[in-house]
Amino acid sequence: MTDHRETTMLSRVADNLYWMSRYLERAEHTARLIDVDLQLRLDQSPEAGSDRWLGLLKALQVPAPENVPLDAEILTHLLTLDRTNPSSIISCVAAARENLRQAREQCSSEMWEQLNRLFLQVKSTASSDCGLPDSHGFFRAVQDGAHLFQGITDSTMSHGEGWHYIQLGRFVERTEAVARLIGTHFIRLPHPLDQAVESEEYLEWVGLLKSCAAFQAYCKAHTAELRPLRVAEFLLLNPGFPHSIAFSVDRVHTALTAIAELTERKAEQPVRIAGRLRATLSFSQIDEIMASGAIAYVDSIRWQCAQAHTAIQQVYFDYSVESALVA
Amino acid sequence: MQPSRTRTRGLLRRVTLPDSAHPLFRPPFRNYQFDSAYDEMFEAPGIPRPHYRALFQTLLDLPSEELRKSQQAAELSFLHQGITFTVYGNSEGTERVFPNDLLPRIIPHAEWRKIESGLTQRIAALNLFLEDIYHNGRILADGIVPKELVYTCRHFRREMRGLNVPRGIYVSICGTDLVRLPDGNFAVLEDNLRVPSGVSYMLANRKVLKKVFPTLFRDYGVCPVDHYAQALLATLRALTPPNFYGRHEPTVVLLTPGVFNSAYFEHTFLAQQMGIELVEGRDLLVHDNVVYMRTTAGLRRVDVIYRRVDDDFLDPLCFQRDSSLGVPGLFNAYRTGNVSLANAIGTGIADDKAVYAYVPAIIRYYLGEDPILANVPTYLLTDRSQQNYVLDHLDELVVKAVGESGGYGMLIGPQSTAEQREDFRRRIQAEPRNYIAQPTLSLSRAPCFLDGEAQARHVDLRPYILYGENVTLVPGGLTRVALRRGSLVVNSSQGGGSKDTWVLRA
């Protein structure tokens, strides 16, 4: 038996790194969505409020609370500092930290310190009495904190197996989140696909792009004239923009290929699922997608993403002992 | 009875001297107090011992504001690194920073040499004792240590009888608590032979002090401690299991109870420093008496386990059945010789506080030498006359439960209430084997930087001893501090802190 010293990674630790990364991505995504939403609200009449909130909750997969008015303060709290909501920012950052804590000897100390700092920052906001004194500043800090963590990760951790699990978690989460966001948006705002949107609605579409940090990049590609078809194409199929589905799926596939190689596992399943999804995206035309229904299309992406997730779990994290002994 | 009472009072009396008697008595030492405890820094009020002179001068010259800033910076860096410990029995905010004091405790070379040889002698004798009682029991047959004492100990493991451990080493990692008595001599307070912790704080403290006092540190000529992790790894590798052949190097892992354990930070730290896997019970499995860890690349065989899990929780098939921290089948794999454990199972018998009283006799029996480091006088409560004496003097003595550690289950006579004493009296009478008593020791005191000035606090010293191919002591250890004024309890769980320990080069 040869000794693969540099590739030894405990299944549990890989699982921890994967989930740490998913949770952090989720926290960042949530922070960006609420931030964009609050900014958008400033330009709108107060009545426009409640169906936007429902859309936001749906995009974040948080069940709408019962028996409470959907008012900004309550819902912002629910999504940011509410420890009883497992998808709130504070819960996600805490879960990310707890996962990294269990994989500390695999990451660099700089990474741990950054995530720990972010956690302490969020926690101290939660424990101060005045709630969110400067909400924009808070959401900014969460996003910056997550970006800083990614930068530190890329420059202080060796780009081996563990790093690939971090990539994997981030882009699986991103694919799902962006797909869900596009889905809820197209349901809520049906609009002639190839017409430029205007006035009140224009802001909503800016909001969608900003929620994916894509507004500026879109403008560079297509100018500030927003057409739903182009927006959908940009967010779904643009190969170079880091929050597009095509880009994210490509990263998922790259990470899985690298992991399969490093572990020398016969792991067709996850690589196959990710590869198929990637191929579908790279050979898709936006007109065809829209013709057969954007919503069905993003749902199928989410479904395949979930399949890939399950396959990763079964092959790397939670395999049966019998299968491993035979191998 | 009466004389000893006065002596106790004498110990606690404060010595006051007129200010004019010591012109050197300036801030931050203006309010520094002395009593009859040995003072690590001063040989007389205002007159530092030779090896403390340079630190003393530095402190006089340094604005206390600067020290305070360094202290805050150190605290923040501990918090950010997550150098925390968990306090049991309280759910929110359970992670606390382990308080660190900035003033180093300095030990001259000659004193360290004595400590080193004393502890080397002790670990050798204790290992021979363990091997003996788990094999032929010569020392019991010869009546040096009473049989009942060994067989009634909760930590004696019948399962270990006749089992041969690699190199005959039961205790490879040991942390022994030393105290300095008023006469200036070190004595052993207790041995920690199961899963001693705290070594990561020794290393973290050193890192901080090098930043705070770089020049002073260099000029002092302090022995380095940074090679501890490397020495630990070498020690663990020396414990290759009997059935280990062919493969290049044994695979060593560190087994932790998990993230809720109070020493979890230390476990991750050591694993990272050694470059070995940090595993939990659920990461390991036993198949055909071979231990494997579950990796992303499949199962991988494990040869040596540095376990930071207590005996009781190691293997639910063999010990505590409801333990989910352990690995089912681990003990059989161990018995078969497919894996080694450090420390071995059943070492707790030798750090039982009642067996402790026999350690000097154990050293003489196996090594034919006199103990280099003294024990603290200990009353065994199974002995009728000693028990009577103790029950009459509960207000002066310290009573400890034999199987406990971490400062739990203790009565400190002079600081106790009548109710607590009554409680312990009942407990002692019900289970005399479970308790021992010792005189209330006056631990030595060292200056600590608290509230912007130097204040004297009681300290102890825990050096770490490694026993693999040979015995290694990293020069230094964890100096624990009772941060509360007048307190004698240094345990982290009871409001203690720690400081760096500088052992000077020859």
ipTM for the predicted complex comes to 0.82
Is there a contact between A105 and B285 if contact means CB atoms under 8 Å apart? no
Q: Tell me the residue ranges of DSSP E strands in A200-258.
A: none
| CA–CA min distance A84, chain B (Å) | 14
Pick the residue of A104, A112, A114 with the most B CBs within 10 A to test the interface with B by mutation.
A104
Q: Measured between CA atoms, how close is B335 to chain A, in angstroms? A: 22
Q: Is the pLDDT of residue A241 over 50?
A: yes
Say what percent of chain A tops pLDDT 70. 94
Closest Cα in chain B, distance from residue A178 (Å): 29
Q: Do B296 and A104 touch (CB under 8 A)?
A: no
pLDDT band at A197 (very low <50, low <70, confident <90, very high): confident
Q: Is A322:A265 a contact under the CB 8 Å cutoff?
A: no
Here the tokens at position B386 are 């000693």
Answer whether A8 sits within 8 Å of B277, measured CB to CB. Answer: yes
**Please, what are the domains in chain B?**
2-99 (no CATH), 109-200+224-374+459-503 (no CATH), 377-439 (3.30.1490.270)
Q: Which of B264, B282, B299 sits opposite A12 (nearest CB)?
A: B282
Q: Which long-range contacts (CB under 8 A, 24 or more apart) does A141-145 make?
A: A142/A27, A142/A28, A142/A31, A142/A89, A142/A93, A142/A118, A143/A28, A143/A31, A143/A32, A143/A35, A145/A114, A145/A117, A145/A118, A145/A121
C-beta of residue B133 within 8 angstroms of C-beta of residue B140 = yes
Question: Using the beta-carbon criterion (under 8 Å), do B277 and A12 form an inter-chain contact?
Answer: no
Interchain contact, A10 vs B295, CB within 8 Å: yes
Closest chain A residue to the Cα of B252, Cα to Cα: A5
- Tell me the one-letter amino acid at B64: S
A-chain CB neighbours of B268 within 8 Å are 101, 104-105
**pLDDT per residue as tens, chain B (506 positions):** 344 444 444 444 455 554 544 545 678 888 888 888 999 999 988 899 999 999 999 998 888 888 888 888 888 888 877 777 666 554 445 667 788 899 999 999 999 999 999 999 999 999 999 999 999 999 999 999 999 999 989 899 999 999 999 999 999 999 999 999 999 999 999 999 999 999 999 999 999 899 889 999 999 999 999 999 999 999 999 999 988 876 778 999 999 999 888 888 899 999 989 989 999 999 999 999 999 999 998 899 999 999 999 999 999 988 888 878 899 999 999 999 999 999 999 999 998 999 999 999 999 999 999 999 999 999 999 899 999 999 999 999 999 988 776 667 789 898 899 999 999 999 999 999 899 999 998 899 999 998 888 999 999 999 999 999 999 999 999 999 998 888 888 876 677 899 999 999 98
Six-digit token pair at B461?
Answer: 């010293």
Judge contact between B197 and B263, C-beta under 8 A. yes
Lowest-pLDDT choice from A38-42, A81-85, A283-287, B334-338: A38-42
A61: left (phi over 0), alpha (psi -120 to 50) or beta: left
Beta carbons of B439 and B426 less than 8 angstroms apart = no
Which residues on A lie below 8 Å from B289 (Cβ)?
none
Q: What is the pLDDT of residue A4?
A: 44
Asked if B268's CB is within 8 angstroms of A104's CB, the reply is yes
Q: B337: left (phi > 0), else alpha (psi -120 to 50), else beta?
A: left
Q: Are B433 and B168 in contact (CB under 8 A)?
A: no
The alpha-carbon gap from B231 to the nearest alpha carbon of chain A, in Å, equals 19
Which pLDDT score is estimated for B21?
A: 47
Best mutation target, B91, B270, B277, B296, to test chain A (most A CBs within 10 A)? B296
Q: Which amino acid is at B320?
A: Q
CA distance to partner chain B, nearest, from residue A156 (Å): 15
Measured between CB atoms, does B283 come within 8 Å of chain A?
yes
CB-defined contacts A:B, below 8 A? 81
Q: Please indicate whether, in this complex, the C-beta atoms of B80 and A120 are within 8 angstroms of each other.
A: yes
State the smallest CA–CA distance between residue A104 and chain B in angstroms.
6
Residues of A in contact with B278 (CB under 8 A): 104-105
Q: DSSP code of B222?
A: B
Please measure the distance between the N-terminal and C-terminal CA atoms of chain A and give it in whole angstroms. Answer: 13
CA distance B145 to A208: 79
Chain B residues touching A112 at Cβ < 8 A: 81-82
Strands B453-458 and B100-107: unpaired
A30 alpha carbon, distance to own chain's centre: 9
- B81/A317 Cβ within 8 A: no
Name the β-bridge partners of B101: B499
Has residue A195 got a pLDDT over 70?
Answer: yes
Amino acid A100: pLDDT: 95
Residue B410 is predicted with a pLDDT of 87
Confidence (pLDDT) at A73: 82
What residues of chain A have any CB closer than 8 angstroms to a CB in chain B? Answer: 1, 3-4, 7-14, 98, 101-102, 104-105, 109, 112-113, 116-117, 120, 161, 259, 262-265, 316-317, 319, 321, 324-325, 327
Of B269, B231, B274, B254, give the one whose Cα is nearest residue B466.
B231
Alpha helical stretches, state H, A102-197: 109-127, 135-156, 161-188
Alpha carbon of B85: minimum distance to chain A alpha carbons (Å) = 13
pLDDT at B486: 80
User: How much is the mean pLDDT over chain A?
Assistant: 89
Please name the amino acid found at residue B435.
Y
Residue A319 with chain B: CB contacts under 8 Å = 294
Query: Which of A3, A101, A105 is the closest to B272 by Cβ?
Result: A105
CA dist., res. B187 & res. B376, Å (int): 6
Residues of chain B in contact with residue A98, where contact means CB-CB under 8 angstroms, are: 259
Highest mean pLDDT among A54-68, A176-190, B87-101: A176-190
Task: Name the burial class of residue A176, with classes exposed (0-12), middle (13-18) and buried (19+) by CB atoms within 10 angstroms of its CB.
Answer: buried
* pLDDT value of position B2: 41
Can you read off the two tokens belonging to residue B8? 């106790």
In the stretch 186-225 of chain B, residues with CB closer than 8 A to chain A read none
| Contacting residues for B143 by C-beta, under 8 A, at least 6 apart | none
